[in-house]
Structure 1
Amino acid sequence: TFMSSKKYLRGFDNDSGMTILRIGSMNLMLHGIESPQFYYMDSLSKSFDDEREYDVILMNPPFKGAVDKGGVHPTLPSDTTKSELLFLHLILRALDMGGRAAVIVPDGVLFGSSRAHVEVRRRIIEENRLDGVVSMPSGVFKPYAGVSTAVLFFTRGAQTKDIWFYDMAHDGFSLDDKRVATQENDIPDVVDCWQNRFDKGFNDIRYSRIEELRKILAPMKAERMELHEEINRLKFESALDGNSFASLLADAESRLSNIDSRISLPQAELDRLTRQFWVTKEQVASRANKYDLSASRYRQVDADAVYHEKPSVTLERLARLESVMLDEINELKGLLK
């Protein structure tokens, strides 16, 4: 832990807000750090000039903020005032060679198309090693902020090859302002996958299970499509003669509910297992992608087929409806004679 190894580990932090400085310093002292090195300073300012100083940087920089260009350190880019982009450049400056960083960023950093957005992603990927991207759902920072976020993991000075991704959907709490604890939590799986991302045995077991689940789900999904077709037909027939087909329709809908229940558990497991995936550097750096790091851009999702009635059947039913309408019109005409 930090406390047991503090004589070997030096920690530093800056903040431009006195309230956070006091809270952070008190928190460190309560946890046994008697002389916290927590400074009242704007890390983007000209007064903070640390370069190649740190082995590890963990950061949650301000989101959606803008800074005064005149106060920014000259080593940082002058073509943007977005704090989230400037902090990424700051991290690259402050890390020692081989130093590692984990940074929480708003998802706009992942896909922003401005020159400043593309350039910071290019620097991380081309001049350093982007180790991983964890995309998080909107709501994980509620009630304070509802923006979608991601965590970038990168190493200063190394070379990017394949990039590890995890498309997280649940963090163990509801994604509304109440943040109530829930059973759905991807964080243990994120940690497990990250720690074993280079373990061939771990990944082979995972991929084998994915294929097994797909084989289990395929016949059930085919049966579900057949039931949708049957229900669609019975609803049409019920519209013409409800009494004759009501029980058949109720039975088909009951069977559909049952098959949906049988599908739900293996489908949930499949969704979780496919949240981890790898993308090549070449794919990310292509002209089409422009270093886009959105998980949704690369993740292969097994989309369920949506039932659509055949056009020929639809036309046949329209003809039947027209025939019924003509019969009823003729019957009304007979009553008028």
Structure 2
Amino acid sequence: MLQNNPELKSKIDQLWNKFWSGGISNPLTAIEQITYLLFMKRLDELDLKRQSDAEWTGEHYSSKFVGTWIPPEYRNQPEPEKFAVEKRTLRWSEFKRMHAEEMLQHVQTKVFPFLKDLNGTESNFTHHMKNAVFIIPKPALLVEAVKTIDEIFEVMEKDSRDNGQAFQDIQGDVYEMLLSEIATAGKNGQFRTPRHIIKLISDLVQPQLGHKIADPACGSGGFLLGAYQYIVTQLAIKAGKQDLAPDEDGFVRTSVAAGLTEKAQAILQASLYGYDIDSTMVRLGLMNLMMHGIDEPHIDYQDTLSKSYSEEAAYDIVMANPPFTGSIDKGDINENLSLSTTKSELLFVENIYRLLKIGGTAGVIVPQGVLFGSGGAFKALRQLLIERCDLKAVITLPSGVFKPYAGVSTAILLFTKVWSPKAKVDHPATDHVWFYEMQADGYSLDDKRSKQDGYGDLQDIVAKYRARNPETDTDTDTDRTARCFMVPRAEIEKEGYDLSLSRYKQDVFEEVHYDAPGVILERLLVAELGEDFFNREKHEKVLESLESGIVRELLELKGMIG
């Protein structure tokens, strides 16, 4: 991890500083431009590696950099071959040797357009790259960025050799750190979900190979990547891999190469779907997953709350951290959503319920206000989760989890869809709800979010959630003063479907014994007067000599209570 590699972290900080001093100070713009360069570098290295592997094994491999390429704008012109570009010159390893001005022009006019056209005109990647622009303005900045990225890759390769961590995982760490710099992402309630929280939710919902998995507000694709890595790890374990060690958060994760057959890779790559209403985040999400080994991610520009989005009962797993704030245009809300509200945090949860297949499971982060809000839509949503879903768990998170972006208090909802929206509910699907109060997540809860010793409550949550038994752990044998406990549906109904942990948790009050007031006053006076306090004649002399002050007032009070 980057926390354990100060050299790698230093190189990434250098890269940020160069973009800042080079005139690109918006973090979101900088990360997009850096991503394009990382993608160019990785594309060249992967192509060279696959060529080498094919020569060794005798298998056929068609390089992306062999032959010529004609830019799309010239393809319908007479004699388009006049505009053909030698693909070889589009390699990172080729253009990095050019002079500064020549390199900038070459990357702007040839390499970047080739990157946008990479997967063919019909691919999802090409479609979303259509409006992407390469805006590095100065030749010197491009030269410095290329040099620093080469150095970053050298450090990653060394780290991979020395520590045995897969290069792909280290590359993912680097990209995650770059994404963490998007401090402006607090707008509209959108901010990056910490990776250890994504791993926690993945371990709780346990996606499997063959599941169709979605995130309807995917941002940079963190939850899709979390599901992918969880499944890959489980396949590796099933295949007999035994040298897997827990990471800094206590979770076991490994790389694609550890246990995926070609068939499993194909199934998994066809299983991940993400949607977002920010075109920049869609591009970042696409490249994030592609740099983690997912060749053709299904991430699209889509407002999943709008009338234009019609999917329903389509997914086995939904994991999401939808926007927490803001309202949407009432006239554009999908008519299939029944809640009478324009609050996005409520509509997203209902929409996630609709997206699930019967038997499908969701892990969703919500602001804690959703748990106890008194408005009609708040209560209706909680009633829906209790009656039409098996609401398995409510896990409250400390307010610092999303710092430095926001200090909002949040919770994780885990639920399985039992009844469809139009089905008659014969009996409520939830019998008991498991509550857990997370107090620590393994990181400081200030703006720095520094790694602390241990895993916080992360592994305890996973262990206790899996060990719970809704059929035997009833309200009569659950300790409501503990960190976690079960609450029966009937009690929740009685409380107006309130899901706040504080509603059901029993506080423990310790009996504290205090000294009598006279003893306390005597202790204070001895501290002020010393041995004179025990001489009553001197008491009176002191009182006569003091017109005011704390000693006089203490002596008078002492005289009153004896």
TM-score by length of 2: 0.43
Query: 2:468 matched to 1:197?
Result: yes
- Give, as a single letter, the amino acid of the residue that structure 2 aligns with 1:72: I
Counterparts of residues 209-288 of structure 1 (less than 5 Å): 274-286=482-494
Query: 2:435 matched to 1:188?
Result: no
CA-to-aligned-CA distance 1:298-331 (integer Å, 9 cap, x gap): 223433223345xxx4379889x9x999956754
CA distance in 2, matches of 1:115, 1:84: 14
Contact 1:161–1:280 under 8 Å retained in 2: yes
Ranges in structure 1 where 5+ consecutive residues have no aligned partner: 211-270
Aligned residues between the structures: 262
Match of 2:342 in 1: 81
Match of 1:176 in 2: 446
Match of 1:290 in 2: 496
Match of 2:506 in 1: 300
Match of 1:254 in 2: none
- Select which of 248, 260, 266 maps to 1:7: 266
Contact 2:432–2:470 under 8 Å retained in 1: no
Decide whether aligned partners of structure 1 residues 25 and 277 sit closer, same or farther in structure 2, where only a CA change above 3 A counts: same
Decide whether aligned partners of structure 1 residues 77 and 306 sit closer, same or farther in structure 2, where only a CA change above 3 A counts: farther
- Residue 335 of structure 2 aligns to a residue whose secondary structure is coil
Match of 1:314 in 2: 517
Match of 1:51 in 2: 312
Match of 1:241 in 2: none
CA distance in 2, matches of 1:70, 1:19: 26
Contact 1:69–1:78 under 8 Å retained in 2: no
Identical amino acids, percent of aligned pairs = 42
Deviation at 1:296, TM superposition (A): 2.2
- Give, as a single letter, the amino acid of the residue that structure 1 aligns with 2:512: V
CA distance in 1, matches of 2:289, 2:435: 32
CA distance in 1, matches of 2:539, 2:459: 67
Match of 2:435 in 1: 165
Deviation at 1:198, TM superposition (A): 2.6
Contact 2:274–2:298 under 8 Å retained in 1: yes
Contact 2:487–2:504 under 8 Å retained in 1: yes
CA distance in 2, matches of 1:325, 1:67: 78
- Select which of 357, 372, 377 maps to 1:96: 357
Contact 1:168–1:186 under 8 Å retained in 2: yes
Decide whether aligned partners of structure 1 residues 157 and 134 sit closer, same or farther in structure 2, where only a CA change above 3 A counts: same
Decide whether aligned partners of structure 1 residues 192 and 105 sit closer, same or farther in structure 2, where only a CA change above 3 A counts: same
- Give, as a single letter, the amino acid of the residue that structure 2 aligns with 1:314: P
C-alpha root-mean-square deviation of aligned residues, in Å? Answer: 3.1
Decide whether aligned partners of structure 1 residues 200 and 129 sit closer, same or farther in structure 2, where only a CA change above 3 A counts: closer
Deviates more, 1:91-100 or 1:325-334: 325-334
CA distance in 1, matches of 2:405, 2:451: 17
Deviation at 1:177, TM superposition (A): 0.4
- Give, as a single letter, the amino acid of the residue that structure 2 aligns with 1:189: D
Deviation at 1:130, TM superposition (A): 0.2
Bigger Rg, structure 1 or 2: 2
Deviation at 1:200, TM superposition (A): 10
Match of 1:232 in 2: none
CA distance in 1, matches of 2:388, 2:447: 39
Q: Which runs of 4+ in 1 moved over 2 A?
A: 1-9, 198-201, 299-309, 313-319, 323-335
Decide whether aligned partners of structure 1 residues 153 and 6 sit closer, same or farther in structure 2, where only a CA change above 3 A counts: farther
Of Structure 1 and Structure 2, which has the larger fraction of its residues in strand?
1
Deviation at 1:276, TM superposition (A): 1.8
CA distance in 2, matches of 1:130, 1:77: 19
Ranges in structure 2 where 5+ consecutive residues have no aligned partner: 1-230, 233-255, 420-428, 526-532, 546-562
CA-to-aligned-CA distance 1:174-210 (integer Å, 9 cap, x gap): 0010001112510011111112223999x9xxx99x9
Deviation at 1:145, TM superposition (A): 1.4
CA distance in 2, matches of 1:147, 1:72: 26
CA distance in 1, matches of 2:391, 2:436: 14
Query: 2:286 matched to 1:25?
Result: yes
CA distance in 1, matches of 2:542, 2:405: 66
CA distance in 2, matches of 1:124, 1:49: 21
